[in-house]
Amino acid sequence: MMLATAARNLTRRSFSTSKALAAQQLTVRDALNAALDEEMERDEKVFLLGEEVAQYDGAYKVSRGLWKKYGDKRVIDTPITEMGFAGIAVGAAMAGLRPVCEFMTFNFSMQAIDQVINSAAKTFYMSAGTVNVPIVFRGPNGAAAGVAAQHSQCFGAWYSHCPGLKVVSPYDSEDAKGLLKAAIRDPDPVVVLENEMVYGVSYPVSDQVLDKNFVLPIGKAKIMRPGKHITIVAHSKSVETAMLAANELAGKGIEAEVINLRSLRPLDSETIFKSVQKTHHLVTVEQGWPQSGMYPRIYYSGSERLTDCIGSEICARIMEHETFFHLDAPIWRVTGVDVPMPYAKTLEAAALPQVPDVVNAVNKVLGVK
């Protein structure tokens, strides 16, 4: 009798039609690996270079198996000289190839920023549209764990400030695969800001995401959770913080709409506008520093508006759009603390936005005590 009951339970479990149970799981690492593999297979002009990307399979194993499959000419180990191999990659792109240049961490991209900005980002404009630079700069960005100040900075605001670049900031496996494939196919330089802390995390994905033809559009945000009381905008791992906060708020009767930006430049203003016009309230969440955070820091030069960062642009666009008149309270920002990242674990946690910080910000904006 007990065996028969167990068999029936097992059968019911095996044939579950629940979407949550039926969804396949894919880590962000494997999503990025699949994107690289599929694009290298699709286009022989695509190649990967960077520190330890070949024989070691990448510092974070994102390029696992690619060197064995494609060989030395298309998966290239470089010396520890970011300016050198970034320059080689930019030159290759100018010559018609499609390099994917990996920085072991975007903190090290500062060594190569002249190549990224002056060579890659500006060439199409300076050549009057005659020279494309189809290159991808990718690697982990933002805070990791226990790696302190020189390995924990978020460069979303830095790179999205520069005309000539497109900047994407994926959160989950769907984002990672779709945005990296789009970046590799793009005719212009694209910066792909990944997050080390989610490389090993599995997320549910559909059959569509696993398809070789799956590509996400650059410049389009995703509504992760619909809501009617307040809008929470975030990118990268801060999306997780926003979602957890939204779950907690839902238990108190507050329905938050969570927007995953996906793309920092171009920025999907329309999705933000429509959401704020519905909810009348906005909180932004990011791990970057507040001086260049999601808040209006605007400088004027004649008639031209010069904004300081991504979040400034969000707030500035709202203030210059009819959406401003739909706000019932000031916009509130939740950011990293204005200090270099501490090494101590407790201080590191205190330096980054946490779920209670987002919940408190929402309560303040809504006037909830």
pLDDT in tens, 107-144: 999 999 999 999 999 999 999 999 999 999 999 999 98
Query: What's the pLDDT score for residue 22?
Result: 55
* Phi, psi (degrees; rounded to nearest 5) at 274: -60, -40
Compute the average pLDDT of residues 26-44: 98
Q: Which of 38, 39, 151, 196 is catalytic?
A: 151
Mean pLDDT of the chain: 90
Query: Residue 17 has what pLDDT?
Result: 33
Counting Cα atoms < 13 Å in the Cβ hemisphere of 121 gives 20
Confirm or reject CATH 3.40.710.10 for domain 222-366, answering yes or no. Answer: no
In this prediction, residues 60-76 reach a mean pLDDT of 97
**Strand, coil or helix: what is 136?**
strand
Q: Is the pLDDT of residue 293 over 60?
A: no
User: pLDDT tens digit string along 197-208?
Assistant: 999 999 999 999
Q: Quick one: which of 49, 124, 55, 40 has its CA closest to 86?
A: 49
Do 222-366 and 24-210 have the same topology in CATH? yes
Q: Smallest Cα–Cα separation from 109: which of 134, 141, 133?
A: 141
Check if 151 is active-site. Answer: yes
pLDDT class of 252 with cuts at 50, 70, 90: very high
3-state secondary structure of 192: strand
pLDDT > 80? residue 258? yes
Q: pLDDT exceeding 70 applies to what percent of the chain?
A: 89
Q: Which of 38, 39, 51, 82 is catalytic?
A: 82
Residue 290 pLDDT: 77
Spell out the alpha helix ranges (H) of the chain.
Answer: 2-14, 19-22, 28-42, 66-70, 82-94, 113, 122-126, 156-160, 173-185, 207-210, 238-250, 269-279, 310-319, 345-351, 355-366
d(CA 228, CA 184): 37
Using one digit for the tens of pLDDT, what is the confidence trace for 301-355? 333 333 455 667 788 889 999 999 999 999 998 988 889 999 999 999 999 999 9
Query: How much is the pLDDT for 309?
Result: 58
pTM beyond 0.75: the answer is yes
Sequence ranges of the domains in the chain: 24-210, 222-366
Average pLDDT (136-160) is 92
Q: Among 223, 305, 225, which Cα is nearest to 261's?
A: 223
Instruction: Give DSSP secondary structure letters for 26-72.
Output: EEHHHHHHHHHHHHHHH-TTEEEEETT-STT--TTSTTTTHHHHH-T
In the block, tokens 């979040």 appear at: 311
pLDDT value at residue 12: 36
At 76-99, the pLDDT tens digits run 999 999 999 999 999 999 999 999
Mean pLDDT to the nearest integer, 13-18: 34
Model pLDDT, residue 18:
37
Instruction: Write down the CATH superfamily of domain 24-210.
Output: Thiamin diphosphate (ThDP)-binding fold, Pyr/PP domains (3.40.50.970)
82 is catalytic: yes
